[in-house]
Each structure stands twice: as structure tokens, then as C-alpha cells.
Chains A and B, each alone.
Chain A
Amino acid sequence: MTGSRKLLIFGGMALAAFGMLYGLQYALFVEHQTLDHMGGSLAQSFTAAASRNLGQSQTALEQYGETKYDYVRQVDAHSHWIGLAMLMIVLGVIFERVNFSEGIRQLVAFSLLAGSALFPLAIILQTYHHGALVLKALAVVASGLVIAALAATAWGFARPRTTA
């Protein structure tokens, strides 16, 4: 088995297991409380408005927005880690059909692994620093790495066979 295939299969399995473990701990210790908090904040913003306490209503609505911002990103990161990991494993099985030299294949595989690990990580870190430009940039670069690696893979599949 070539180095690029090992990188994709082993890296993919590790990333899938990590993504699942993350999802499990989130479901056990965070998700239910977050959903309660999210629903509670929205309800509170309406009840406060019914009591004509508009300041409290506004604060509760902002809390709802922030909690939902975090929730969406936590769930997205979990699903993207596992989804990208599955793609890596699938590609790992057939990566020798990518008709580039092994050196280029390793570069593509590494880009896929790095992008797949960093993109969801950047999303999760945004829940600790809302709107941080550095983290948005990291997410863009990491997702760009994944897209570029996949485009290179598609190109490699389409090329006539010249290398083993």
C-alpha cells in the first residue's frame, strides 16, 4: 500500500472516530442543555415582550441568536468531520487510480487530510470567538484545500494512465 493511500485510509478512520467521539460527548453533555437554553431564550424574549419589558426581551433574543450560532457550528463541525473522513477512506481505496506520481498523490492526500481536520476545527473555534476574522480565514483556507485536493483527484482520475 502506498503512502498516500495509508494517509487517506488511516487518517480518515482516525478522523471519523474523532468526529463521532466529539458528537457523542456533545450529545451527552452539551446538546440537550443547549437546545433547552436556545428554546428558553426565545420563549423568554416573547414573554418579556408580553410583560412590556422590552430591554429584557432584547437581551433574551440576543442570547437566542448567540446560542443558535454556537449550536449550528457544533453540529456542522461534527457532521463535516465524519463526512470528510468517509470521503478520505473511499478515495484511499482507489487512490492508485489517480494518475499522478506518488509524490503528487501524497501532497494531494495531505491537503485533503489537513483541510478535513482544520475546516471543522475552525468552525468550532468560532463558537469561542464569534466573528473572529482569523478563524473565518482558517475555515476558508482549509475548505479551499479540500476543494483543490478533490479537484486534483478528479483530474487525476480523468488523466490517461501514465504512472502506477
Chain B
Amino acid sequence: MPAIPRAFPDRASVAPAKPALAFAPHFAPMSARRLYIFGGIALIAAGLLFGDIFAVFILHQNAALQGEALIAASRAVAAGNAAAVNEVFAHLGSVLEDRGTKVDAHVHMIGAGYLALLLALVQPYIALSRQTKKSLAVLFIAGGVLLPVGIFLIHYVGLTASPFTAIGWASVLADSAGALLILVLIVQAWGFRKYLRSRQLSEPELPEEDSMPRRALLTGGTILVLLGFLHGAYYAGALLYEHERMETAILQRLINAATAGNLDAAATEVNNFGGLAGARAVNIAAHSHIIEFGLLAMLLSFVQPFVFLSEKWKRRWVKVLLGGSVILPVFVLLELKFGLLAGGIADIGGLMVMVALVGMLAGILRYSGGLEVAVNKSAEGAR
């Protein structure tokens, strides 16, 4: 049997494992699986970066603007000036839209990235031609990029030149991109149905590899998702309905205080409202982030055989990723007690996940190129 030359002769420890070599032709440049993996990880990393920027530079400032708007509204109520109230609420609507569209852009970008990684995993069971699968991958990544971009632009484009009464062109872009994702998913389901009839894999399944990074990501990911479910169940059972009742009660007291001309009491209620909004936001953020990171860890466990890094570095990135995945949700929850200090540590957790993702992505990039060289040379040697 001819020797397989090393793709990176100066780094003997990063030579690909045998199962990965068997998989190589189906991980060729621009294959559907490669597009999904690269596109998916890039979308997730970009979504995390956007989320971190949003958390540091926009989130708290936006909350302060909401508080200021409610104070202004209570003053207008105290003065009996209904027109001023309307002006304040038009401004408040804009502030809320600014926040909401950014949160949605962050969530949808990461969600599309997860779906892309998922589709990469199920490609062997999609009985469609290679070209069709590739075209679908291009469409999916395009939709995954355009959907959050459209959502982000909603606040800035508004209803400019729109023929509709409530939907602007940015919404049309976002909705069209969402429809594109759905279309791709429906075609994938059809391809899966074809596989069930033929029972023939269209490409090799993912290689079996029982390495420490893979086991750690799989086990850690499952535990993170389970913890997230338990926290969600606790929040829904113990806090959700109470928070909903508290919101209308606080607003009622705020209106009553403002009507009575008691602006100090109104300001206290605005603070209470801000505290409640903060409590809801951190609980929901902790719940969603711990589950998302758990799912991400599970997904990344599959691509570990293709992270062309030394075992030591693979373990490092796994530890950084799992560490960040715990730090972010835990310190988001602690923001209620420790304020911005905990918020800053949570942001560092997000940064750790992002850095680990980029590290793994770099390993995947190195892997694919090197492997193709190794396989081609091996084939030439065999001839």
C-alpha cells in the first residue's frame, strides 16, 4: 500500500485519522456538506459577535432610553397633555423596534447556522444529485445571510416606498429569505423520503471516532441542553405568570401616580418596570443561550474528525467552548445581583465561545485542503 504523504509535514501530530480519509472525497471544496459546515459555523460566529456587540453597546443604553420615555410619558400624563403622550409613545415604539429587530437578527443568524450544520449531518440520507444538493446549500446559506440582514434593516428602512400598510421592504426581504429556507428544507425532506425508498446512502456517513473532544462535546452538550430545559421549566412554572401579572400592575400604579401628579412615585414605578424587564430578559437569555450552546456543542462533536489540529489544541478549543457555554448563561443570570460586572463576565463567556468556534473553523479549513492533497497523491501512487 502506498504511503500517504502528510499534508503538513512540519506538524506530524495533525495527520488525519483513517475514517476521515475515507470520507475525504465527499468533503471536497464546494461540496454541499462543506458549504453547510463552513457557512453554518461562520453564521453562528457572526451571530455571536453581533450579539456581543449588541449586549455591550446597545442593550443597556436601549433600556435606559425606555426608562426615560416612560418618565416623559408619566410627566405628560401628570400635565394632562395627551398629545405629548402620543409623541413619547411614538418614540418608545421606535426604541423597542430598534432593540427587537437586533435581538431577532442575532437569534435568526445563529438559528440558520445551526440548521446549516444539521443539514451537513443529514446529507448522506438526502437522495438527490450532487449538483442539486450543492445548489440547495448555496440557496440555504444565502437565505441564512439575507434573513438576519433583512430583520436588521427593518428599523432603518421602515415603510419607505412600501406599497403595504404595515410591512416595509426590509420585512419583505426577511420574509422572502425565510421562505427560501423553508423551500430548501422541504426539498431536503423530499430527498430524505427518496432515501427511505432506495435505502442507498448518497455519500458516506460521518466517521465513527471515539476521541476525548468528541465525547466531551456530546456529553457536555446534552447536559447543557438538559439544564436549559430544567431552567425553562422552572421559569415557566414559578416566574412567567407572576411577571406577566406584575407588568400590568406596575403600569397601572405608574398611571395612577402620574394622574395624581405624584412624579416621585411614578419614577419609582418606572424603576420597578425596568427591574422587571431586566429579570425577564436575563431569565429568557440564560434559558435560550444554555440550550443553544448545548446544541452547538453536540453539533460540533460531529465535525471534530475534520478539525485538522493537534489533539492538544482540539482539547483546548473544546474546553474554551464548554467553559464559555457555562459562563455566559450563569453570569447573565447573576446580572440581577451583581449588575454590569456580571454582564461583562457574561460577554467574555460569549467571546470564549466565539474564539473556540473560529479556532475550530480554522482547523476545518486546514483539514480539507491538506486532506485532498494527501488523497490525490495516494491515488496517484496507487496507479
Contacts and interface: CB of A to CB of B under 8 A. Distances in A.
Asked whether A and B interact, the reply is: yes
Interface of A: 1, 6, 9-10, 13-14, 16-17, 20-21, 23-24, 27-28, 32-33, 36, 39, 42-43, 45-47, 49-52, 54, 57-58, 61-62, 64-65, 68-69, 72, 79, 82-83, 86-87, 89-90, 93-94, 97, 139-140, 143-144, 146-147, 150-151, 153-154, 157-158
Contact of B226 (A9, A32, A61, A151): A151
20 contacts: A9-B192, A13-B188, A17-B189, A20-B178, A43-B86, A46-B85, A47-B82, A49-B77, A50-B80, A51-B80, A68-B244, A69-B244, A90-B121, A93-B122, A94-B302, A140-B237, A143-B229, A143-B232, A143-B236, A150-B222
A133 B298 CA distance: 36
A128 B373 CA distance: 61
Contacts of A16: 115, 185
Interface stretch (B129-137, B246-254, B358-366): B246-254
Contact of B251 (A32, A42, A153): A42
B218 interface: yes
A49 B171 CA distance: 34
B contacts with A: majority SS: helix
B204 interface: no
A79 B299 CA distance: 19
Interface in B198-225: 206, 218-219, 222-223, 225
B121 A17 contact: no
A20 B181 contact: yes
A28 B258 CA distance: 37
B21 to A, nearest CB: 21
B222 A47 contact: no
B219 A158 contact: yes
Contact of A47 (B79, B85, B219, B225): B85
B353 interface: no
B85 A50 contact: yes
A97 to B, nearest CB: 8
A93 B76 CA distance: 59
Contacts of A87: 225, 295
Closest 8 CB pairs of A and B: A43-B89, A32-B166, A65-B248, A50-B82, A47-B82, A154-B222, A50-B77, A47-B85
Nearest to A90: B298
B192 to A, nearest CB: 6
Interface residues of B toward A: which range? 35 or more
Contacts of A27: 171, 174-175, 178
Contacts of B219: 154, 157-158
Given A24-B178, A39-B89, A52 B259 contact: yes
Interface in B298-351: 298-299, 302
A36 B96 contact: no
Nearest to B121: A93
A57 to B, nearest CB: 6
Interface in B351-379: none
B230 A93 contact: no
Contact of A65 (B182, B192, B247): B247
Contacts of B233: 143-144, 147
B157 interface: no
Contact of A45 (B206, B225, B247, B255): B255
Contacts of A89: 118, 121-122
A55 to B, nearest CB: 12
B47 to A, nearest CB: 15
